[in-house]
């Protein structure tokens, strides 16, 4: 402790040693043997947004972790019973595709392996690589309680997932249905709306003539002579046509209607008539639907209920047949016709166009740019597909049946429970303008498709009668009555309640990853922790998962714990490149926080991140801020070195008399800094706060006070200088924990800074 400080601060010689000291000392746990807490401690807790097991630390994590760690350390020092719950997410599709890729390198695919072996491989992969990000979070100084680490597929966590599924099912909020869902042909699974991204694509818009059938076909004069419809209804010789525009001509093989807007005068005469679907030779009706946009294309739309989400809606409304012409792997089915069966979508498109051209039924082809829906994981175009899926009701008020799982239910729909907790202010989103992101999504929310046809994840706690399944497979179509031959249960039933002599088969589907992530604020926590630390104090996250995750945690918390999971949701900035571009590994625009830590130290990296984190503004990343952090660390170090050589007194109370004007001035400014820091942390204004601390330390303490008092040797200056420095270490500790702890150990000692009282002396 009396050993003189080196000339410069060396983070490499300090950080790992200090971190180990904290961890070995058990200081990350909510209570510490070295620190008696007050009789009625407040609790303070944060749940780490569980990173994917595929992940490694990026700037977003670094920002999130730094903010969380500041709050955690600040509250811990203030004597609150504080805990930061860490963990990782199994991240269904993301992890599965990583392992898929690895297997591909070995020349095998997951179907070669079979489900059981494949899942084993994923577990192996997770054991090996799944905690990289955890060790990286430690590097940055995250003081999370690693003894409480969870994984979204831990056994206790899985129990919660099952309980929740069963509970919703018993309430009648989970249902199974054959629906058109967004399907990824590469991942071979359904996706939710939120897993879809859009990419601009240049394509063609094909105008196809569908021959009108019946009487109208001959009354060309009436239809054809009107100016306003001459370009949408064509007549040649004795045949009239209705013209539809499409970017996907191959789907015409599955058309079961043509739809126009009921207000569209151009088609008044043909509504209710039929057209003959070219190539296929099927007669399909011309119907009206409000959802059709009069201004797009010709105003007439081909309706393919089995392969388009809007068309499916129209199809259901008008009770049209659903003809599936594309299968799960993106190939044409037998229903598409002999000539097309087995073709890829692109091949089928080409062939359909060629055929139509031969028949003279292509009116024109235009260049067209639109947003193509792609899978956010594989970037494969989304194929809307008819398939059996499980849904969680979001907005309706179904009758509540008795639930074996005893919870006080609000009786509100999941959607309404979120809207109300936001509206009442029980759950605050900070900054407030992000509330609208959540509420406007919720207001229009559709039922959540929670089933995925992948292998890595929580299998649905659903068991089918094997005999029924076999019968269904044979008949190809699902008999709705037979579809009910399943039960929802936590364990496989001993006897099948339907046929009484089969071993029931568990559903092959797994749950959407977010179904389990939604339970993060309580699932997998011990009973005691749930009692003590639910709700947590604040959720800290990025805005891109407000709907994907935050909203779902809120309704899960309200439904299962009867209370919002967190009164505050802090939406932090997104870290962009200096030019405001998205940071991305593939574009080479990413910044590696671990690289920064190695180059400048963890404290400097934290400083640099927080220095730039002002309000809601996205961060245009500037490494200069980290360099400033390194210089600042060194400045602090040298202030300490100066204090040490001048025999500063770090422990005595500030003298009440005999203070010079400059003593009084600096002490006044210190008191002001404490107040502002408390206020700043309370208001989540971290950037502002670190700027103020920086200004005080560098420009008030070093440049002014130390320069002015250099020649003084009285006792007061030793006490004032030492006391100010001791306080600065405390004030700064949540932001720059390593250097402050090191200086505390070297100069003051008698404890650990991490649990020192922040404000008292």
Partner RNA sequence: GCGCCCUUAGCUCAGUGGUAGAGCGUUCCAUUCACAUUGGAAAGGCCGCAGGUUCGAUCCCUGCAGGGCGCACCA
Identify residues 427-466 at the interface with RNA (CB under 7 A).
433, 436-437, 440-441, 444
Among 612, 677, 689, 716, indicate the residue that binds RNA (CB under 7 A): 612
**What strand order describes the sheet that includes 257-260?**
274-277, 282-288, 257-260, 300-303
**Under the criterion CB under 7 A, does residue 679 sit at the interface with RNA?**
no
Return the exposure string of 385-402: e unless at least 16 CB atoms fall within 10 Å of the residue's CB, then b: bbbbbbbbbbeeeeeeee
Site for RNA, residues 518 to 557, rule: CB under 7 A: 543-544, 547
**Under the criterion CB under 7 A, does residue 7 sit at the interface with RNA?**
yes
Among 63, 144, 164, 292, indicate the residue that binds RNA (CB under 7 A): 292
Taking the complex as a whole, the smallest distance from the CB of residue 259 to RNA amounts, in Å, to 7
CB neighbours (10 Å) of residue 52?
17
Q: Which 8-state DSSP code applies to residue 332? A: B
Cα three-residue angle 356-357-362, rounded to 5 degrees: 80
**Under the criterion CB under 7 A, does residue 732 sit at the interface with RNA?**
no
> Longest Cα pair distance anywhere in the chain, in angstroms?
113
**Under the criterion CB under 7 A, does residue 688 sit at the interface with RNA?**
yes
Taking the complex as a whole, the smallest distance from the CB of residue 618 to RNA amounts, in Å, to 6
Residues contacting RNA: total by CB under 7 A:
71
Of 640, 608, 548, whose CA–CA distance to 191 is shortest? 548
Task: Give the integer Cα–Cα distance in Å for 49 and 706.
Answer: 43
Taking the complex as a whole, the smallest distance from the CB of residue 1 to RNA amounts, in Å, to 18
Site for RNA, residues 256 to 275, rule: CB under 7 A: 259
Candidates 19-27, 395-403, 685-693, 731-739 — which segment interacts with RNA by CB under 7 A? 685-693
CB neighbours (10 Å) of residue 604?
28
Taking the complex as a whole, the smallest distance from the CB of residue 165 to RNA amounts, in Å, to 25
Task: Give the integer Cα–Cα distance in Å for 225 and 670.
Answer: 87
484's CB contacts (< 8 A; 6+ apart) are none
CB 575 within 8 A of CB 81: no
Of 107, 147, 60, 244, whose CA–CA distance to 621 is shortest? 60
Of 694, 596, 718, 734, whose CA–CA distance to 646 is shortest? 718
Taking the complex as a whole, the smallest distance from the CB of residue 619 to RNA amounts, in Å, to 6
CB 491 within 8 A of CB 462: no
Candidates 32-40, 99-107, 523-531, 577-585 — which segment interacts with RNA by CB under 7 A? 577-585
Taking the complex as a whole, the smallest distance from the CB of residue 161 to RNA amounts, in Å, to 25
Among 245, 343, 462, 666, indicate the residue that binds RNA (CB under 7 A): 245
Task: Give the integer Cα–Cα distance in Å for 321 and 285.
Answer: 11
**Residue 395 or 403 with smaller CB distance to RNA:** 395
Of 267, 278, 257, whose CA–CA distance to 208 is shortest? 278
Site for RNA, residues 619 to 648, rule: CB under 7 A: 619-620, 622, 624-625, 627-628, 630-631, 633-635, 638-639, 641-642, 645
**575-576/619-620 β-pairing:** parallel
Taking the complex as a whole, the smallest distance from the CB of residue 223 to RNA amounts, in Å, to 20
Candidates 465-473, 482-490, 530-538, 615-623 — which segment interacts with RNA by CB under 7 A? 615-623
**233-236/239-246 β-pairing:** antiparallel
> Using CA atoms in the order 590, 593, 598, 603, what is the torsion angle rounded to 10 degrees?
140
CB 410 within 8 A of CB 559: yes
Task: Give the integer Cα–Cα distance in Å for 702 and 38.
Answer: 36
Structure tokens at 156: 């206790």
Taking the complex as a whole, the smallest distance from the CB of residue 180 to RNA amounts, in Å, to 13
**Residue 523 or 706 with smaller CB distance to RNA:** 706
Taking the complex as a whole, the smallest distance from the CB of residue 143 to RNA amounts, in Å, to 25
**Residue 113 or 309 with smaller CB distance to RNA:** 309
Among 20, 104, 578, 761, indicate the residue that binds RNA (CB under 7 A): 578
Taking the complex as a whole, the smallest distance from the CB of residue 39 to RNA amounts, in Å, to 39
**Residue 469 or 576 with smaller CB distance to RNA:** 576
**Look-up of token digits 């058990």:** 26
Site for RNA, residues 364 to 383, rule: CB under 7 A: 370-371, 373
CB neighbours (10 Å) of residue 423?
12
Task: Give the integer Cα–Cα distance in Å for 57 and 51.
Answer: 9
Site for RNA, residues 304 to 323, rule: CB under 7 A: 308, 310
Taking the complex as a whole, the smallest distance from the CB of residue 542 to RNA amounts, in Å, to 11
Of 70, 21, 18, whose CA–CA distance to 44 is shortest? 70
Among 114, 296, 499, 761, indicate the residue that binds RNA (CB under 7 A): 296
**Residue 80 or 255 with smaller CB distance to RNA:** 255
**Residue 161 or 518 with smaller CB distance to RNA:** 518
The CA–CA distances, whole Å, from 733 to 45, 686, 737 equal 19, 13, 4
- 461: number of CA atoms within 13 Å, CB side? 19
**Residue 40 or 295 with smaller CB distance to RNA:** 295
**Under the criterion CB under 7 A, does residue 703 sit at the interface with RNA?**
yes
17's CB contacts (< 8 A; 6+ apart) are none
**Residue 536 or 547 with smaller CB distance to RNA:** 547
Q: Could you give the string, one character per residue 84-113, with x where binding to RNA holds by CB under 7 A and - elsewhere? A: ------------------------------
Taking the complex as a whole, the smallest distance from the CB of residue 198 to RNA amounts, in Å, to 5
Site for RNA, residues 643 to 672, rule: CB under 7 A: 645
Taking the complex as a whole, the smallest distance from the CB of residue 89 to RNA amounts, in Å, to 20
The CA–CA distances, whole Å, from 356 to 152, 253, 297, 660 equal 52, 12, 18, 96
**Residue 150 or 393 with smaller CB distance to RNA:** 393
Site for RNA, residues 173 to 212, rule: CB under 7 A: 193-194, 198, 205
Taking the complex as a whole, the smallest distance from the CB of residue 720 to RNA amounts, in Å, to 15
**Under the criterion CB under 7 A, does residue 231 sit at the interface with RNA?**
no
**Under the criterion CB under 7 A, does residue 47 sit at the interface with RNA?**
no
């Amino acid at each position: 402790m009396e050993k003189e400080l080196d000339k410069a601060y060396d983070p490499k010689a300090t950080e790992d040693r200090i971190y180990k000291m904290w961890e070995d000392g058990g200081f990350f746990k909510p209570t510490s043997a070295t620190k008696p807490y007050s009789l009625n401690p407040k609790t303070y807790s944060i749940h780490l947004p569980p990173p994917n097991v595929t992940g490694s630390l990026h700037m977003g994590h670094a920002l999130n972790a730094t903010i969380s760690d500041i709050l955690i350390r600040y509250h811990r020092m203030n004597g609150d019973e504080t805990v930061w719950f860490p963990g990782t997410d199994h991240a269904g599709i993301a992890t599965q595709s990583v392992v898929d890729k690895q297997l591909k390198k070995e020349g095998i695919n997951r179907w070669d392996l079979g489900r059981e072996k494949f899942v084993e491989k994923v577990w192996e992969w997770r054991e090996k690589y799944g905690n990289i990000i955890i060790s990286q979070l430690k590097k940055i100084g995250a003081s999370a309680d690693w003894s409480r680490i969870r994984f979204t597929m831990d056994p206790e966590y899985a129990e919660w997932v099952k309980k929740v599924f069963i509970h919703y099912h018993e309430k009648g909020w989970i249902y199974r249905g054959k629906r058109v869902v967004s399907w990824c042909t590469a991942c071979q699974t359904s996706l939710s709306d939120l897993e879809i991204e859009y990419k601009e694509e240049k394509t063609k818009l094909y105008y196809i003539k569908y021959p009108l059938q019946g009487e109208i076909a001959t009354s060309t004069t009436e239809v054809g002579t009107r100016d306003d419809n001459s370009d949408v209804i064509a007549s040649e010789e004795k045949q009239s046509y209705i013209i539809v525009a499409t970017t996907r001509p191959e789907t015409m093989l599955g058309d079961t209607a043509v739809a126009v807007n009921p207000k569209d005068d151009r088609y008044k005469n043909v509504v209710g008539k039929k057209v003959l679907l070219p190539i296929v030779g099927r007669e399909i009706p011309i119907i009206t639907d409000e959802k059709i946009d009069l201004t797009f294309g010709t105003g007439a739309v081909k309706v393919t209920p089995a392969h388009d989400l809007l068309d499916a809606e129209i199809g259901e409304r008008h009770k049209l047949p659903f003809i599936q012409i594309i299968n799960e792997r993106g190939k044409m089915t037998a229903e598409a016709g002999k000539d097309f069966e087995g073709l890829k979508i692109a091949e089928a498109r080409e062939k359909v166009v060629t055929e139509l051209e031969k028949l003279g039924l292509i009116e024109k082809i235009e260049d067209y740019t639109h947003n193509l829906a792609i899978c956010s994981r594989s970037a494969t175009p989304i194929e809307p597909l008819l398939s059996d899926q499980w849904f969680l009701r979001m907005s309706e008020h179904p009758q509540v049946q008795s639930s074996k799982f005893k919870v006080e239910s609000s009786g509100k729909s999941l959607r309404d429970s979120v809207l109300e907790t936001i509206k009442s202010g029980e759950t605050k989103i900070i900054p407030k303008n992000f509330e609208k992101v959540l509420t406007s999504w919720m207001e229009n929310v559709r039922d959540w498709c929670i089933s995925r046809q992948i292998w890595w994840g929580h299998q649905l706690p659903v068991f089918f009668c094997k005999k029924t399944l076999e019968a269904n497979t044979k008949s190809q179509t699902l008999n709705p009555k037979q579809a009910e031959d399943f039960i929802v249960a936590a364990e496989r039933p001993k006897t099948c309640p339907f046929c009484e002599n089969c071993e029931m088969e568990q559903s092959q589907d797994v749950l959407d990853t977010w179904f389990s992530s939604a339970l993060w604020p309580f699932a997998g926590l011990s009973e005691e922790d749930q009692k003590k630390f639910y709700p947590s104090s604040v959720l800290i996250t990025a805005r891109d998962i407000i709907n994907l995750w935050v909203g779902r945690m809120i309704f899960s918390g309200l439904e299962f714990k009867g209370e919002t999971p967190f009164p505050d949701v802090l939406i932090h900035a997104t870290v962009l490149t200096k030019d405001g571009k998205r940071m991305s590994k593939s574009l080479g625009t990413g910044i590696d926080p671990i690289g920064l830590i190695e180059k400048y130290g963890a404290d400097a990296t934290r400083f640099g991140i927080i220095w730039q984190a002002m309000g809601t503004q996205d961060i245009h990343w500037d490494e200069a801020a980290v360099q400033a952090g390194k210089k600042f660390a060194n400045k602090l170090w040298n202030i300490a070195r100066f204090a040490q050589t001048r025999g500063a007194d770090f422990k005595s109370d500030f003298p009440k008399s005999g203070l010079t004007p400059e003593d009084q001035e600096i002490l006044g400014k210190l008191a002001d800094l404490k107040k502002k820091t408390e206020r700043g942390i309370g208001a989540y204004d971290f950037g502002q706060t670190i700027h103020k601390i920086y200004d005080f330390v560098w420009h008030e303490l070093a440049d002014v006070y130390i320069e002015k008092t250099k020649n003084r040797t009285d006792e007061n200056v030793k006490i004032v200088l030492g006391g100010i420095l001791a306080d600065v270490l405390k004030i700064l500790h949540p932001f720059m924990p390593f250097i402050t702890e090191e200086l505390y150990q070297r100069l003051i000692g008698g404890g650990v800074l991490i649990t020192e009282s922040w404000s008292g002396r």
